[in-house]
Amino acid sequence: MGMQKQSRGFRITSDALLKGAVASAAAFVFFLLVLLAYELISGSRLSLNAFGLRFLITTTWDPVHDIYGCLPFVYGTLLTSAIALLIGIPISLGVAICLVEKMRGRRGLAYALGTIVELLAAVPSVIFGLWGLFILAPEMRDYVEKPLSRSLGFLPVFSGTPFGLDFLTAGVILAIMIIPTVSAVSRNVLNAVPNSQREALYSLGGTDLEVVRHSILPYARSGLFGAIILGLGRAVGETMAVTMVIGNAVSMSPSLFSAGYTLASVIANQFTEASTPLFTAALVELGLVLFAVALLINVFARFLLWRMSRFSRVRV
């Protein structure tokens, strides 16, 4: 009897310790988030007081006269991230579907190819930047941008003179960098789809395309959407690779062949050149804006996931 009470007391104590440990870990993450926001706000106070909300809508970035606005950098961040998603998501989903569905009977080869894809995520971003600067940018200029300019130059997005270091090349670099993340998560999501989902449609005479389109993707769409959001987060926050291939110019041109900046790249490029307190505060405020953009993306993603799950329950 005494042993049972002692064992029960030990379980209660261990449960309490576990609860306290995991609660502390969760509170620590929240504390880091609040601390980061506080430091960004306090570090950008001069800029916040000088420009207020005009900082978000001003297109001028003039360190000589201490006039700063972040709109061109928000534009560059969103444009390059959109290009990355348009190029990278179809490739990532194709890789995941190939490894999970088309190579189901060759698990060894699928595992080897999946490992190779995941190894790309371990490549440092500066290596991608060097490769993009010396190899991808000239190839993009000669074999992609110049033909597009000749044939579709009448469109604003393909106007201007191609020179390789621009929004389009930065978007392609980001697409290459998000492919390992999105494809690895998507592969795990597709592996979690029950075989009954596949077999039900195959038994009705469905083709491989119909099974993937009507059975697997709808079942796994919440997880796939989460993978896409992870890729978007990587694209929005990427710094070195983008800095090396985007051209580094303050621009809001609609042309994909124009040089530009992203929020992360302008901070990396100009922070060591900040010669006045207001210039430094403006760069810190760019970090605050980037922080807010990342939070808004995650909140929007959570909202969409909630809407998708709610819609699925209503359909059921």
Query: Please, which pLDDT band fits residue 44 given cuts at 50, 70 and 90?
Result: very high
Q: How many CA atoms lie within 13 A of 2 on its CB side?
A: 0
Residues 122 and 85 in one domain: yes
What's the pLDDT at 39?
92
User: For residue 310, is pLDDT > 70?
Assistant: no
For the chain, percent of residues with pLDDT exceeding 70: 92
H helix intervals, 44-98? 45-51, 54-57, 71-97
Whether residues 252 and 293 fall in one domain:
yes
> Cα–Cα distance between 84 and 77 in angstroms, integer?
11
Q: Show Cβ contacts of residue 226 under 8 Å, excluding neighbours closer than 6 positions.
A: 185, 189, 301, 305
Answer whether residue 143 shows pLDDT above 90: yes
Both 256 and 310 in one domain: the answer is: yes
Q: With b meaning 16 or more CB within 10 Å and e meaning fewer, what string describes 183-216?
A: bbbbbebbeebeeebbeebeeeebeeeebbeebb
Region 279-289: mean pLDDT is 93
> Is residue 99 exposed (0-12), middle (13-18) or buried (19+ Cβ within 10 Å)?
buried
Identify any residues that bridge with 62 across adjacent strands, giving them in sequence order: 67
Same domain? For 34 and 128 the reply is no
Domain assignment of residue 50, yes or no: no
- Summary mean pLDDT of the chain: 86
Do 78 and 136 lie in one domain? The reply is yes
Spatial separation of the C-alpha atoms in residues 169 and 228, rounded to whole Å: 20
CB 71 within 8 A of CB 58: yes
In the predicted model, is pLDDT for residue 10 greater than 60?
no
Whether 211 and 166 have beta carbons less than 8 Å apart is answered as no
- 103, 228: one domain: yes
Per-residue pLDDT band for 314 (boundaries 50, 70, 90) equals very low
Encode pLDDT of 78-101 as tens digits.
999 999 999 999 999 999 888 888
Give residue 308's domain range. Answer: 72-315
What confidence category does residue 316 fall into, taking pLDDT thresholds of 50, 70 and 90? Answer: very low
Q: Which residues contact 256 (CB under 8 A, 6 or more apart)?
A: 79, 83, 157, 158, 166, 167, 168, 171
- Average the pLDDT over 46-72 and give the result: 90
The answer as to whether 49 is a domain residue is no
| Helices 277-315, 2-43: inter-axial angle, 10-degree rounding | 130
* Per-range mean pLDDT, top range of 26-35, 135-144, 213-222, 293-302: 135-144
How far apart, in whole angstroms, are the C-alpha atoms of residue 230 and residue 225? 9
- pLDDT for 156-189, tens place per residue? 999 988 988 999 999 999 999 999 989 988 888 8
Q: Is the pLDDT of residue 241 over 70?
A: yes
- pLDDT exceeds 90 at position 299: no
Angle at 68 between CA 62 and CA 71, to 5 degrees: 110
Q: Is residue 67 part of a domain?
A: no
* pLDDT for the residue 286: 94
Number of other residues whose CB lies within 10 A of the CB of residue 138: 14
**In this structure, what DSSP letter does residue 141 have?**
I
Q: What per-residue confidence (pLDDT) applies to 4? A: 54
Averaged pLDDT for residues 144-150: 93
| DSSP state for residue 166 in the 8-state scheme | S
Q: Is residue 152 part of a domain?
A: yes
65 within a domain of the structure (yes/no) = no
C-alpha distance from residue 7 to each of 19, 115, 265 (Å): 18, 45, 58
Q: Angle between the 167-191 and 217-237 helix axes, to the nearest 10 degrees?
A: 140
Are 140 and 159 within 8 A, CB to CB? no
Question: What CATH number has the domain bearing residue 102?
Answer: 1.10.3720.10
Domain presence at residue 66: no
Contacts of 126 (CB under 8 A, 6+ apart): 240, 241, 244
Is it the case that residue 307 has pLDDT exceeding 80? no
In a domain, 55, yes or no: no
The answer to whether residue 54 is domain-embedded is no
Instruction: Report pLDDT for 6.
Output: 54
> What pTM did the predictor assign?
0.86
